[in-house]
Amino acid sequence: MIKASLLIMLLLTVMVGMGLRWRQARMEASRQAAAPAPRGRRAAARPGFLARGKAGIDLWITAAAIASLVTILLMGGLHWIKVWLQ
């Protein structure tokens, strides 16, 4: 059961992380399409190395938190179904 829950949590973390990254890219694209083009050199600068790293870590921590909640609910639900059927 422990191996199954770890595998489920790992797969869900990757899937949720990919979904969050896709959503973030889509929101950024729509924001850039709606906003006027920035002027000047500093207006179009990308975030720094640490800011990008922090955003990536935040994304994967959020994905892991969502995956852990789903795994707890799934494995707990399977446990209670097993208890009720006995």
What whole-number distance in Å separates Cα of residue 64 and Cα of residue 61? 5
Q: Is residue 41 part of a domain?
A: no
Q: Is residue 10 part of a domain?
A: yes
Q: 17: domain range?
A: 2-32+50-85
What whole-number distance in Å separates Cα of residue 24 and Cα of residue 31? 10
Q: What is the mean pLDDT of residues 38-58?
A: 81
pTM strictly above 0.85: no
What whole-number distance in Å separates Cα of residue 65 and Cα of residue 71? 10
For the chain, the domain total comes to 1
- Structure confidence at residue 77 (pLDDT): 92
Q: What is the mean pLDDT of residues 4-19?
A: 93
Residue 45 — φ and ψ, nearest 5°?
Answer: -70, 145
Q: Is residue 19 part of a domain?
A: yes
- Name the more confident of 38 and 72: 72
Q: Is residue 44 part of a domain?
A: no
pLDDT digits (tens, 9 = 90+) for 17-46: 999 999 999 998 888 788 776 676 666 677
What whole-number distance in Å separates Cα of residue 52 and Cα of residue 54? 5
Q: Is residue 74 part of a domain?
A: yes
Contact 63, 16 (CB under 8 A): yes
Provide, rounded to the nearest whole percent, the portion of the chain with pLDDT above 90.
59
